[in-house]
Amino acid sequence: MAKYGFLIDASRCIDCRACLVACSVENNVSMKSTRIWIKDSAVTGEFPDLKRYSAPFHCMHCADPSCVSACTVGALKQNADGIITYDNKACIGCRYCMYACPFEVPHFQWDQQFALITKCDFCVSRLEAGQAEPACAATCPTDAIQFGSQKEMLALAHDRIEKQPERYINHVFGEFENGGTSTFYISPVPFDQLGFPTIETTESPAHFNRIATEEGTPIIAGAVALGMTGIYLAMEHFEKKPHTDRKPNGTEEK
């Protein structure tokens, strides 16, 4: 299955927030807990030549998502089409994903009695129902949010930068960040000015996590279990009945 992707163009965003409303309606959540929020640069330039840029920000849907590798109960999963889904029936609200995600995407329902995580899932139920686009992309009046296959979106991003180098900086955010994602951003200003997180690693933290959990832990467990058994047997062998009254496991059986 081809992977889905987003292309979000900060030069087209007019900060109308229709995507937030669409997200709220589609996912039946209050405006306070939409899965999109707006990142913007401060107003720059001198009057009357003022500039301000903004872009909607939501889950990047990483190729190797750290939230998925961290989630205690496997509530976060990656689909074959690259979507990171969230199972609100499994989640226990431990908030480990909030620490694992380098983009600070998973949010928590702090005001709820029984609180869960909220996170964009590409409107997966909408796509499964046969609709063409997630709600935010369908709503965006300036086509700042575009939806399609991941390959197409990445090609389109590079195409736009190439054709209008004066309009964009030469950086597709999401192409290499965190080992690559399914959401790409292009912008007229550097992304840190838009308030995007600076991602220095091109390898996903999920990679390091797996080294620790899937390789380190079994090695430690095996080494300790074998070592302890070996030392115990050796001690039993070399230390013949020194404290018969305290022997936890009688030597007489041997």
CB neighbour class for 182 (10 Å; exposed up to 12, middle 13-18, buried from 19): buried
Determine if 200 is a binding residue for another protein (CB under 8 A): yes
Q: Which stretch binds another protein (CB under 8 A): 102-110, 122-130, 147-155, 183-191?
A: 102-110
Min CB(134)–another protein separation in Å: 23
Interacting span for another protein (CB under 8 A) from 4-12, 40-48, 144-152, 194-202: 194-202
- Figure out which of the listed residues 33, 72, 79, 193 binds another protein, where binding follows CB under 8 A: 72
149: β partners = 4
111-150 positions binding another protein, by CB under 8 A: 111-117
For residues 65 and 249, what is the distance between their CA atoms, to the nearest angstrom?
48
Contact with another protein (CB under 8 A) among 82, 134, 179, 197: 197
Query: Among residues 162, 182, 187, which one has the least CA distance to residue 172?
Result: 187
Q: Residue 31 interacts with another protein (CB under 8 A)?
A: no
In sequence order, the 6+-apart residues with CB closer than 8 A to the CB of 115 are 93, 108, 109
Task: List the one residue from 15, 162, 192, 239 that touches another protein (CB under 8 A).
Answer: 239
Residue from the set 62, 83, 100, 153 that interacts with another protein by CB under 8 A:
100
| H-assigned helices in the chain | 18-26, 66-70, 96-100, 124-128, 135-139, 150-163, 205-210, 217-238
Residue 51 is given by DSSP the state E
Residues in contact with another protein by CB under 8 A are 66, 69-75, 90-96, 98-100, 102, 104, 107-117, 197, 199-201, 205-206, 208-214, 216-217, 220-221, 224-225, 228-229, 231-232, 235, 239, 242-243, 246, 248-249
